[in-house]
A = this chain, B = another copy of it.
Amino acid sequence: MTKAIKCDSSGIRAIKDAMETLSGNWKLPILFSLSGGAKRFKEITREVEGISDKMLSKELKNLETNHLVKRTVYETFPPTVEYEITEHAETLFEVMKALRDWGQNHRKKIIGK
């Protein structure tokens, strides 16, 4: 019999809320890239393979609205902009680690490498 975890409607709603906030394939990889420390736009595009500038800029704005990313503009000439994850986003580390481990395990199961 499958090992059950307590499944109730508030649990289902919480998971749906989380998935809606983290929706799409890019938000968590961006946060994971920023979990290594503050980065500039170009550094993030280099680390998150395959993301377009347009998509990254859209997702960064969304992550800012959800209090997950902080944007800082430095008064250099020309001005430089850095992105870093907020303390609230750090609470996502458990989710990121669980997804990373599951993703590696799933890839081995499905395509055997």
- Any B CB within 8 A of the CB of A80: no
Asked if A96 CB lies within 8 Å of chain B CBs, one says: yes
Q: How far is the CB of A7 from chain B (nearest CB, A)?
A: 4
- Residues in B with CB closer than 8 Å to A11 are 32, 100
A100 near B2: Cβ-Cβ < 8 Å: no
Contact with B along A8-22 (1 / 0, CB 8 A): 011111111111111
- Write the chain B residue with the least CB distance to A84: B2
Q: Say yes or no: A102 contacts B2, CB within 8 Å.
A: no
Chain A interface residues toward B at CB < 8 A: 1-7, 9-26, 28-29, 32-37, 47-49, 66-67, 84-85, 87-88, 90-107, 109-110
